[in-house]
Structure 1
Amino acid sequence: MRIAVTGGTGTLGRHVVDELRSRGHEVRVLSRKSPDHPVDLTTGEGLEAALTGCAVVVDATNSNKNAAAVLVEGSRRLLAAEAAAGVAHHVCVSIVGCDRVPLSYFRVKAEQEGVVADGPVPWTTVRITQFHELVAATLAPAGRWRLLPVPRARLRTVAVADAARAVADVAEGAPRQGRVEVAGPEVADARQLATTWKRITGHRALLLPMPLPGRLGRALREGVLAAERPDVQGVTPFGAWLAGRP
């Protein structure tokens, strides 16, 4: 099957590309800097040619700058191009709890989900919890200063490789016209994750409680980012993933 992956060079996207190729699919990597299939979601440039003959599109695009232009308006352009090309299944990668966290990026992701649900192409949205990789990347700089500010937050982080396998499974299946939630194998407080990171990496940083007031703090404490009953559960705990890194 020919599958296009937008954002196919990103943290998740490249794992999805590798996973799909390992299963025998023809995968097109779509990004602004792709040597074979360059596309620009903010203008629609390159989409028509890149999607020719594709049965499925996995949208793993991420954008911290101009997020609405890329993820919301870009999704509209992408879906229109998919409909013209006869794409049968659009897989939207999103975030668990994005509709309940009062941060601008999460609101954009929730809006993107709405665009997909109202769009012209049969779809499945895959909501994923935070990655182990993100937690480690967040803790590492603070660890160098021997001080780790840690908020109260219930999380259920997942390895990118585990998430990629779940996304590939969805891409191979029929559109669900609904969501699939993917999470890690264990629920842990952010302080527990930081303690595990210290133990395995050997850092001696002091954990400093960091209160988060208002709606954001309440949402994180209540665990809106941790899927209580995920449809797909990863197999790699944070500690095992951390210990196995090169």
Structure 2
Amino acid sequence: MQVAVVGGTGTLGAPVVRELAARGHTVRVLSRSAPADPVPGTEHHAVDLVTGAGLDAALEGVYAVVDAGNHRGPRSARTMVEGVRALLAAEQRAKVGHHVEISIVGCERVPFAYYRTKVAQERAVTQGPIPWTLLRATQFHELIDELLGGGAKFRIAPHSAMRFQPVDVAAVAGRLADAVEAGPSGRVRDVGGPAVQTLAELAELRRRTLGQALLPFPVPPIGRAIRRVRDAALCLDSAGEAVSFDYAEWLRRRYAKPVS
């Protein structure tokens, strides 16, 4: 199957590209810059979702598109919402048969600007012209580690009861590849990691693994968004599926010292 992966050089997109290629699909990597370490057999197309540049040529002959370009980190509403609309319009012109979108578990429950934008992006897809599949996932281990690593640079560890359920990005990539092969399926089952932990617990795991001496930095539960996260709004409910390994295992794999 000819599949295009938008954001195919990113934290999620790169594993999606590898997984689809390993399954024998013909994969096009759509991003502004070419991958530093391209997967053999794949091809890169330079595109810009803001201007639409390069999209028509990149989508010619493609059956399915995976939009993996914006799960991590804040991006402007213009890029996320108008960009996906431009992408869907280009898919319609190219007669693409399936759009696969990634989103965030609980994004409609947390009154934070980025999550509101994700809800708007979901709406653009589900009300758009292309048959679709929507998968929601919890935060990736890499995002939690980036957050905690930022504090560690200042010798602090956040002490907060906010709860997360971080997940292995490769497991999410596998589910997106499954979605491509299953065809348009609407909203599919949410996925997350196997453990719900507070930010304080995650910070302590990282501190011990890296052997760091950090000062606890209390994060007061001020604001509705923080209180919702504390109440596990970004974690799976009973209908979701826990997959793969937890943050402690990710830390062991990421920071394990090589055997000399």
Partner of 2:213: 204
The offset of 1:182, in angstroms, is 1.4
1:156·1:184 contact (CA, 8 Å) conserved in 2? Answer: yes
Structure 2: gaps spanning 5 or more residues: 36-43, 256-260
For residues 159 and 239 of structure 2, what CA distance do their matches in structure 1 show? 25
* Equivalence for 1:233: 242
| Structure 1 Cα separation of the partners of residues 254 and 207 of structure 2 | 15
Is 83-92 or 105-114 further displaced after alignment? 83-92
Q: Name the CA shift for 1:144/1:198 in 2 (closer, same or farther; >3 Å).
A: same
2:174 corresponds in structure 1 to 165
Classify the secondary structure of the residue corresponding to 1:207. Answer: strand
CA distances 1:183-217 after superposition (whole Å, capped 9, x unpaired): 00111111111111112111121222211312112
Q: In the alignment, residue 7 of structure 2 is paired with which amino acid?
A: G
Kindly indicate whether the alpha-carbon contact (under 8 Å) linking 1:91 and 1:170 is maintained by their aligned counterparts in 2.
Answer: yes
Partner of 2:48: 40
Matches within 5 A, 1:39-188: 39-62=47-70, 67-188=76-197
Partners of 1:232 and 1:21 in 2: how far apart?
Answer: 25
Gaps of 5+ in 1: none
- What TM-score, normalized by structure 2, do the two folds share? 0.89
Question: What do residues 33-88 of structure 1 show as CA deviations (whole Å, max 9, x unaligned)?
Answer: 24831111112111111111111100011286762221111111111111221211
Task: State the partner residue of 1:193.
Answer: 202
Distance, in Å, in 2 between the alignment partners of 1:91 and 1:230 is 20
Per the TM alignment, residue 180 of structure 1 is displaced from its structure 2 partner at its CA by 3.2
Post-superposition CA distance 1:131-189 (Å, at most 9, x none): 11111111123223332123321111001112111111112112112243110011111
- The count of corresponding residues between Structure 1 and Structure 2 is 246
Q: How far apart, in 2, do the equivalents of 1:72 and 1:197 lie?
A: 35
Q: 1:71 to 1:171 in 2, by over 3 A?
A: same
Q: Distance in 1 between matches of 2:213 and 2:224?
A: 32
How far residue 103 of structure 1 moved from its aligned partner, in angstroms, is 1.5
Contact 1:124 1:180 in 2 (8 A): no
Task: Tell me which residue corresponds to 2:16.
Answer: 16
Q: Which residue of 1 aligns with 2:41?
A: none
Distance of 2:246 and 2:226 partners within structure 1: 25
Partner of 2:252: 243
Distance 1:141 1:66, change over 3 A: closer
Superposed CA RMSD in Å reads 1.7
